Amino acid sequence: MSRTATINRSTSESSIELTINLDGTGRSDISTSVPFFDHLLTAFAKHSLVDLGIRSSGDTHIDIHHTVEDTAIVLGQAIKQALGDKSKIGRYGDATVPLDDALARAVVDVSGRPYLVHTGEPAGFEFHLIGGHFTGSMVRHVFEAIAFNAGLTLHVNLLDGRDPHHIAEAEFKAFARAFRKAVEHDARVDGIPSTKGAL
């Protein structure tokens, strides 16, 4: 059964077209009009092995916030749709990923219960402009939007790091690797991986 989704979402602030294939090979074609966000989403696709296509535009002349947030919301919705009834998945995934000075850990539970714990970023990271446009505070905001719209329990912990670019990228790569494990099919799982029989 194909685990894919296509979602279009338009508001007065942004327009998003997104396709996802959870059983892909890591191919991506991404243009959000926010270059560093493109970089992070490309890394997510590559290391989670999902195929991801995104076309986003919005009122970036005001701020990148709306376009980035709305793209993350749609990505979460697409993940939820593509997962279907979540049968035969591993459900849990964790990964620890280094990027030079940065070391990030992510743990994913495809629980159906949205929750985010995000810790460890150095003081002032949230104010740093990465690539001239993307503020550090948006990293948490993106994880929050994905987790809440996909129904994921997500823990992201920065264990070490100094360079803001490395910190953000390590966190996204750790999330990608943990997500990959969580949504992959497990041949030993029969049905829904929950004692409740539903996720």
pLDDT tens for 69-91 read 999 999 999 999 999 999 999 99
Structural domain includes residue 74: yes
Range of the domain at 37: 4-183
The backbone torsions φ and ψ at residue 69, rounded to the nearest 5 degrees and listed phi first, read: -60, -45
Structural domain includes residue 8: yes
Q: What is the pLDDT of residue 130?
A: 95
pLDDT tens for 96-132 read 999 999 999 999 999 999 999 999 999 999 999 998 8
pTM of the model: 0.97
Q: Nearest-CA neighbor of 152 among 94, 70, 67?
A: 94
Give the model's confidence band at 1: pLDDT under 50 very low, under 70 low, under 90 confident, else very high.
confident
Give the model's confidence band at 184: pLDDT under 50 very low, under 70 low, under 90 confident, else very high.
very high
CATH number, domain with residue 28 = 3.30.230.40
Q: Nearest-CA neighbor of 181 among 18, 189, 198, 197?
A: 189
Asked if residue 68 has pLDDT above 90, the reply is: yes
